[in-house]
Chain A
Amino acid sequence: MSIEKTAGIVLKCKVCYRLTVGADFCALHLKAYENITENYQVWKKALGISWIEYLYEIRKNSLTGEWAKEVAKYLIDDEGTRDVKEDQERCV
């Protein structure tokens, strides 16, 4: 569902009811997404795991924050995101 605004189209966050500030997420889930992407390098270096394995790991971890878990779940479910990220990973 979208809400028309004079400046353009404003969308709802992919995870919650709030309005997006970027392409997919509201400000709160965007911060969680940034943390997820930033910390992937640490996990990759530590365990040598793939992006999708990483997302499963953080989703089941009890220390992961609620919003980070919601974003991880969305990223796991969202096939497109997974493919793009894995492509990026292969390029790196």
Chain B
Amino acid sequence: MPKYTLIITEKPDAAKRIASAIATTGKVRRFTDRGVPYYVPEMEEKTIVVPALGHLYTLTSAKRGRDTYPVFDFKWVPRYLAERGATKIRTWIGVISKLSENADTFIDACDYDIEGSIIGYCILKFACKNKERMAKRMKYSTLTQEEIRKAYNQPLPNLDFALIEAGLTRHEVDWLYGVNLSRALTIAVKNCTGDCATLSTGRVQGPTLKFIESREKKIRCFVPTPYWIIKAKVVVGDSVFEIKYKDFIETKAEGEAILARSKTKGGVIEKIDVNEFQQKPPRPFDLGSLQSEAYRLFRYTPMQTLKISQRLYLDALISYPRTASQKLPPSIGYGDILRKLNRRREYERITGELLALSFLKPTQGNVEDPAHPAIYPTGELPKRILDSSEKNILDLVVRRFLAVFGEPAIQESVKITISIGGNEFRLNGRRNIRKGWFRFYEPYVHEEDISLPPIEQGQKIDVKKILLQRIYTKPVSRYNPASLLRKMEEKNIGTKSTRAGIIQTLYDRKYIREETATITDVGLEIAEILTKHCASVASIEMTRKLEERMYEIQQGTETRENTLKDAIDVLGHVTTELKKNEKELFVNLGQAIRRAKLEGRTIGTCPKCQNGKLVILHSKKTGKRFVGCTNYFENICETAFPLPQTGRIKPSGKTCRGCGWPVLRVWMKKKRLWNLCLNPDCQLKKQPG
């Protein structure tokens, strides 16, 4: 059988695109083997492009059993051996192994970052049987035809082993932390309270939860203090403006005194300060700033933005999104991209303006990512209909790319000091003198003018109304997914690719809830345990140090063995401490879990006794489920309702629009989700149809 080149990609979409890009005739034949697709591009040298499905290999404990800790022995295994439901992976690995048997050249074309490098390395090492040393590496930042061809024709001679070593260490250290601390929490709660609950924490998850906990404590312990402001409505020219007294006032008496002195009919313009200032164009997007901006504008969570931008990357519409770079090197071809964007009507005018410039120089940040530039549009036209979220993110990336080439915006601020009864009040105005880059970034930047009529010093003005207003100091705001991501970036914990996932895990584990990342009782107790008994492993300092060591491994100044040994030492102490204090530690956590479980089963206030809570219960005799009032146990209320015995039932948190009684949501196999009102005499149930 003739030998061929085997190209391995990270995802099926990327395999298809790479195969089309390298085919000399542009034609590609698609084959499948037991449901696994692979592509054969038409070209002189026989080549097969086969995709992975993300990570095909993962870490697992070398010993069997999930109810012991500490665990320090691990091994890399196919995912189907470690995870339930990953059966498809067995076939996938089988097909790649079979295709590798007759290949004589191997090319790793997975994404050029830590995760992509590990995916490619594991496949070459395990599925292709130790081909990692002979494999070449394709390096590209966009999936456009030109860049793919260039990467294929000039591949790197070897895999980036330093990057792989750092990546393997990161996975192994994270596995050690995650498995040991999570098992310690889960097993201890089970031993102390008999309750089963899936609890987890980890090297990055712990410190992230602590950020939220620390802020939550400040908010819940917050006591506001009063202060006063004085506002007045004045007539300047033909318009009415609101002006404010220059300072905040600490006491009511002082405020009333100033108000009394200010209660005159007129004021006089004392001073006019006019200042011009520049607003520089923004930096190009790295992943974090794209996620923040997408949240600000569209309320997409960081995880959603990551997924959307990944799809746009696989469609070759934007460059690789998992980047920390804030730089756009000239090699990406600014002019070419602008010319391509110019084909689209919505960008025709602004790209035309930029193309008319003799020199294009983008505004850039300081951070450089050796693997990829900042996120930019490729200028390619979409080959399918994009959904609204994809359109939004693509437009945002395009307009940010255009804005970085714009001129600084120039604004003028006017500060007017008005004297009323000898007291100084302020009136502020602002107008755009030159819109500069604002024009390119519209509608995502909106600076409204606060225009003031012509005013002169000494001019007299009428005071229409004046009042004293009591205000209170406010607590700090809770984190939202975007601000939490920024905090993680600022403290350098996690990586650009993992941060969004970690925030999502905190939601999935029910440690935090709602958009405002409000910590739950369970989250609070976990954070408390981490603070008191795992301070050394859950500190930001430790996480940052580990990140630095990963970087050193990548630079060749630190070893994987040393880093793992130190992690095991630290974890050994912590797990011993946790075991020793198990009972004492987990009483509060156990109670919080029980309360959370009860809350999850609580439907609402009992409509009959108006005092107890209606809860989903199971009969001890029959095992059947029903709804009962908590006051039954106090011999006060005997309210009970039958429930369907099949399907999944959850409180909806809503009340019936017909009778106001609590409503349940019911999921039944092969049936539509429906709402169940508990009231047997509900008006809506009696209506025909």
Contacts and interface: CB of A to CB of B under 8 A. Distances in A.
Interface of A: 17-19, 28, 31-32, 35-36, 38-39, 42-43, 45-48, 58, 61, 63-68
Given A17-B591, A46-B252, A39 B225 contact: yes
Contacts of A42: 225-226
A43 B220 contact: no
Given A17-B588, A17-B591, A45-B250, A36 B223 contact: yes
A35 B225 CA distance: 11
B507 interface: no
B226 A46 contact: yes
A67 B225 contact: no
A7 B158 CA distance: 64
A68 B252 contact: no
B1 interface: no
Contacts of A39: 223, 225
B217 interface: yes
A14 to B, nearest CB: 16
Contact of B221 (A28, A45, A48): A28
B225 A46 contact: yes
A45 B218 CA distance: 24
A58 B221 CA distance: 12
B219 interface: yes
B571 to A, nearest CB: 26
Classify the interface of chain A: helix, strand, loop or mixed. helix
A19 B475 CA distance: 26
Interface string B461-477: 00000000000111100
Contacts of B250: 45-46
Contact of A47 (B223, B226, B588): B226
Contacts of A46: 225-227, 250-252
A35 B219 CA distance: 11
Contacts of B224: 58, 61, 63-64
Contacts of B219: 65
Given A46-B251, A68-B223, 15 more contacts: A18-B588, A28-B217, A31-B221, A39-B223, A46-B227, A46-B250, A48-B252, A61-B224, A61-B472, A63-B473, A65-B219, A65-B221, A65-B223, A65-B475, A66-B220
Interface of B: 217-227, 250-253, 472-475, 588, 591
Contacts of A58: 223-224
Contacts of A31: 217, 221
Contacts of B227: 46
Nearest to A72: B223
A58 to B, nearest CB: 6
A56 B250 CA distance: 20
Contacts of B472: 61, 63
Contacts of B221: 28, 31-32, 35, 65, 67-68
A31 B222 CA distance: 9
Closest CB pairs A-B (n = 10): A65-B222, A65-B220, A32-B221, A63-B224, A67-B220, A42-B225, A39-B223, A35-B223, A66-B220, A31-B221
Contacts of B217: 28, 31
A50 to B, nearest CB: 15
A17 B227 CA distance: 35
Nearest to B224: A63
Contacts of A67: 220-221
26 contacts: A17-B591, A18-B588, A28-B220, A31-B217, A32-B220, A32-B223, A35-B222, A38-B223, A42-B225, A42-B226, A43-B226, A45-B250, A46-B225, A46-B226, A46-B251, A46-B252, A47-B251, A61-B224, A63-B222, A63-B474, A64-B222, A64-B224, A65-B475, A67-B221, A68-B222, A68-B223
A12 to B, nearest CB: 11
Contacts of A61: 224, 472
Nearest to A67: B220
A91 B66 CA distance: 63
B504 to A, nearest CB: 26
A60 B222 CA distance: 13
A35 B591 CA distance: 27
A10 to B, nearest CB: 10
Contacts of A32: 220-221, 223
Contacts of B588: 17-19
B220 to A, nearest CB: 4
Contacts of A47: 226, 251-252
Contacts of B218: 65
A68 to B, nearest CB: 5
A66 to B, nearest CB: 5
A19 B585 CA distance: 11
Contacts of B475: 63, 65
Contacts of B473: 63
Contacts of B251: 45-47
Contacts of B225: 39, 42-43, 46
Contacts of A45: 250-251
A1 B239 CA distance: 67
A31 B223 CA distance: 11
B597 to A, nearest CB: 15
Nearest to A37: B223
A48 B256 CA distance: 14
B583 to A, nearest CB: 11
B590 to A, nearest CB: 11
Nearest to B588: A18
B252 A64 contact: no
